[in-house]
Amino acid sequence: MKDNAINSDQFLLKSVAEELRLPLVQISRLAELSRGSENDLSSDMKTIESSADLALQLLESYILGVELSDNQREIALSPITIGAVMNDVAHQVHKIAAQNNCDIELSIKTSKPIMGNYEAIKMAYLNIAHSIILANNSQVHKKRKSIVFAVYGKGTKNMAGVYGNDIQINKTSWEKSMSMFHKTRQKIPEFSSINGSGFFVASSILESMSLSLHPSKYKGNKGLVAGFPLSQQLQLI
């Protein structure tokens, strides 16, 4: 059991390291291109900045996931609303979304509070959002993309999901990706330039809070969702 856990960590680390090569190659080659250029470099500088930010974001999230699962960092819980977290995430990915011709939509249907760790949940959803935006960052897709941040009530839970109009993730492909995680380089075949590490890092952060991600559909878009149990005490306030 322990050997498997160690292997999982190693594979996740390898996956993150592999995914980080892309933004670093982008930065390095854009810097090389810009070196000999006499043109306005502000656009290149913006791309360099966002590539570096994405790389740092993934690294920080991986570190958080490892610390949470190893109990090196305590998960301090406080009353929060998932809608506020999603709103924050949507604002934070605004720039990356704009650079990738991706529209953002927020659909917050409930504001019932839950007990949770705001920063950890935000970090998990940032990774999901980045992966969905960048999954389509290819030459292949020319149509306008959109990403939807949705929060809605379902029974005794608040469901929080991130969905894209141009990703093909479903129950079969998600289960296959999770089972193939240790075995293949291109973990999600529908993705081209990224390997989906953001999803797996998000999943590890949420798992440390006893939450799980699963594929879901929302208004015709596909994505990943997690259910946050409502706090009975907070309902009484």
Partner 1 sequence: MKELLFIEPDKILGNTYLRYFGSKNYSVRVTGSAQEAIILADDITPDLVIVELQLRLHNGIDFLYEFRSYSDWHQIPIIILSMVPSNEFPSDKNFWSTLNIHKYIYKPKLKLSSLLTEINDITLEKTL
Residues that bind partner 1 (CB under 8 A): 18, 21-22, 24-26, 29-30, 32-33, 47, 51, 100, 137-140, 185-186, 189-193
100 vs 158 by CB, closer to partner 1: 100
Token pair 């050997």: residue? 3
The least distance separating partner 1 from the CB of residue 128, rounded to whole angstroms, comes to 19
- In sign, the C-alpha dihedral spanning 81, 206, 128, 190 is negative
Across 217-236, b (16+ Cβ under 10 Å) vs e yields ebeebbbbbbbbebbeeeee
143 vs 185 by CB, closer to partner 1: 185
For residue 143, give the DSSP letter.
S
129 vs 211 by CB, closer to partner 1: 129
113 vs 223 by CB, closer to partner 1: 223
The least distance separating partner 1 from the CB of residue 38, rounded to whole angstroms, comes to 11
Is there a contact between 229 and 157 (Cβ–Cβ < 8 Å)? yes
184 vs 233 by CB, closer to partner 1: 184
The least distance separating partner 1 from the CB of residue 195, rounded to whole angstroms, comes to 8
The least distance separating partner 1 from the CB of residue 30, rounded to whole angstroms, comes to 6
Nearest 5°: phi and psi at 168? -110, 30
The least distance separating partner 1 from the CB of residue 51, rounded to whole angstroms, comes to 7
The least distance separating partner 1 from the CB of residue 139, rounded to whole angstroms, comes to 3
Q: Please provide the DSSP assignment of 76-131 as one string.
A: --EEE-HHHHHHHHHHHTHHHHHHTTEEEEEEE-----EEE-HHHHHHHHHHHHHH
Look at phi and psi of residue 101 and say left if phi exceeds 0, alpha if psi is from -120 to 50, else beta.
Answer: left
81 vs 100 by CB, closer to partner 1: 100
Q: CA-CA distance, 179 to 217, in Å (whole number)? A: 21
Is there a contact between 202 and 212 (Cβ–Cβ < 8 Å)? no
